[in-house]
Amino acid sequence: MQMSERGRELIREHEGLRLTAYMCPARRWTIGYGHTGADVHEGQRISAAAAEALLEADLARIEPAVAEAAGAATQGQYDALVSFAYNVGPAALRRSTLIRKHRAGAHEAAAREFGRWVCAGRWRLSGLKRRRAAEAALYRS
């Protein structure tokens, strides 16, 4: 299975496009559509095409981890789980109650788990609330 355009649009919408590196609420240098890593540094600038390439490279790294963790999934479930892992990381997905409930076939309970992931550090973020609601709706679709 591969991330659909609908799933990519969810990531683009909620990450936003930033062509200059910024410090995100989780205190990590970030650029493009939420790309983080050792290759991102203060003052860095990229083009929109480079941001799209980073998004695709990040998805190529995250999707296999999600596919392995999730097992069987509908397209909506898969896209929502990839968006979630794109934001919190594949390791957090693998440790989550959300993925345990998904694998157990408790899909409505899994969908409700998205709403528990709305904090960055000690702070509840309204942007994360909106993103998790969109992911849960996509998961249910």
The CA-to-CA distance between both ends of the chain, in Å, stands at 16
Residues classed as catalytic: 15, 24
Model confidence band, residue 25 (pLDDT cutoffs 50, 70, 90): confident
pLDDT band, residue 97 (cuts 50/70/90): very high
Hey, how many other C-beta atoms are within 10 angstroms of the C-beta on 67? 15
Q: What is the mean pLDDT of residues 103-130?
A: 93
CB 139 within 8 A of CB 114: yes
Q: Are 118 and 84 in contact (CB under 8 A)?
A: no
Q: Determine the average pLDDT of the residues in 56-78.
A: 97
pTM of the shown model: 0.94
Q: What is the structure's pLDDT at 89?
A: 94
| pLDDT mean over 60-80 | 97
Contact 113, 98 (CB under 8 A): yes
Q: What is the mean pLDDT of the chain?
A: 96
Residue 31: its H or E element = strand 29-32
Residue holding tokens 């190529």? 60
**Which pLDDT score, from 0 to 100, does residue 27 have?**
86
Domains recognised in the chain with CATH numbers: 5-140 (1.10.530.40)
Share of the chain above pLDDT 70, in %: 100
